[in-house]
Structures are given as C-alpha cells and as structure tokens.
C-alpha cells in the first residue's frame, strides 16, 4: 500500500491581502521618510532609504526599521549636499515668484521657467532616490535621472501627480501628507522599474 509523503503546500496570501500589505508598508515607510527628513537637508537620503526598503519588500526580502536606518545613514553621507542644493533651488524660485508679484518686466516668463525647472529637478531627485544603492554617487544618479526625466515623460508626469497628491493632502489634512510620502516613494520605484524594463 503506497503512502503519500508529499509535503503540504505552503499557504500563500491572497493577491488582495498581498497588495493591502504592500499599501500598508508604503504608509509606514512614509512615516519613516518624514521622521528621517526632519533635519530638512536629509530628505533625499530619506527617500532613497524608503525606496530601497520598498524594493526589498516587493522582492519579498527581509528588512525593517534597522535596514532603513542603515540605508539612510549611508545615503545621508553625501545626500545632505543634494538636500542643500534642493533648498537653494526652491529659494531661487521663490525669488522668481516675488519678481512676478512685483510686476517686474519679464517676471511672468522667468517665474514660469523657474517653477517648471523646480518641478523637473524634484522629479529627477525622486528618480535618483528610487535608483539609489549603497555606494552610488549622487552626482551620477542625478545626471542619469535627469536624462530619464526628459526621455520618459509619462513616468515623470506620474511622479508630478504623486507630488501633487502629497501637496493636496497637506493642504486639506496636514497629517495625511506624512504617510502619503511612502506612496510617492513607491511610485518612484514603480516608474524606475517600468523604465528599466522597457
């Protein structure tokens, strides 16, 4: 009489449960990103660590707060310079907007160019953060991300929409913007993965 020695199959989560778990992980990652961004110049490193955490999660690899903190520390070593440059760019655009309000000649054109340049720089920064790995050069990441921002307009518009979602969330219910940061990091990871597979 034959006996069945087959092992029972491992129980898998349903697709809905898996997607909900990923969504919850995105929201938690948004909180981590917000906390890591509190020094203000560390937001590129925070997004890089958050994106790397979400890449691990989608690849079904282990990782939690400790791995996020280690990635954040590695990304912040040079990432704070990128954060300073981002704030300098935002200040320059603020000056342009003030010129538009003051009615200076050519102000509207200069203001529009400045706003579009800032949006492009923010998208390139998100794409660079989504591609970051320990030891990567921020300068090389930003240069490559700038090219992808121009050459992949569909992906870039998706990230602009994600950033707009954060701003709208902050406008209506400020605390809601914190977890939504994780969704923006997830969108950046998805856009980069989509571009890589093309």
Question: 6: helix, coil or strand?
Answer: coil
Give the model confidence (pLDDT) of 139-176 as tens digits.
999 999 999 999 999 999 999 998 888 888 888 888 88
- Residue 116: closest CA among 96, 99, 101, 98: 96
Give the model confidence (pLDDT) of 4-48 as tens digits.
444 444 456 677 777 888 888 999 999 999 999 999 999 999 999
Give the model confidence (pLDDT) of 4-16 as tens digits.
444 444 456 677 7
- Residue 47: closest CA among 143, 176, 197, 180: 180
Take residue 76 and report the two structure tokens written for it: 């912040």
């Amino acid at each position: 009489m034959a006996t069945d020695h087959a092992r029972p199959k491992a129980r898998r989560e349903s697709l809905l449960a898996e997607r909900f778990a990923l969504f919850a992980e995105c929201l938690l990652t948004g909180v981590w990103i917000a906390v890591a961004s509190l020094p203000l110049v560390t937001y590129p490193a925070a997004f890089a660590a958050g994106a790397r955490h979400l890449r691990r999660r989608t690849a079904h690899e282990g990782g939690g707060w400790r791995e996020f903190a280690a990635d954040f520390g590695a990304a912040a070593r040079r990432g704070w310079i990128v954060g300073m440059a981002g704030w300098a760019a935002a200040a320059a655009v603020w000056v342009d907007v003030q010129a538009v309000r003051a009615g200076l000649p050519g102000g509207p054109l200069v203001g529009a160019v400045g706003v579009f340049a800032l949006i492009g720089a923010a998208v390139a920064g998100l794409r660079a953060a989504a591609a970051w790995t320990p030891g990567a050069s921020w300068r090389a990441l930003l240069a490559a991300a700038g090219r992808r921002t121009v050459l992949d307009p569909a992906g870039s518009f998706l990230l602009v929409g994600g950033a707009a979602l954060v701003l709208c969330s902050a406008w209506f219910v400020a605390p809601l913007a914190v977890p939504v940061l994780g969704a923006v990091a997830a969108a950046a990871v998805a856009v980069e993965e989509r571009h890589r597979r093309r």
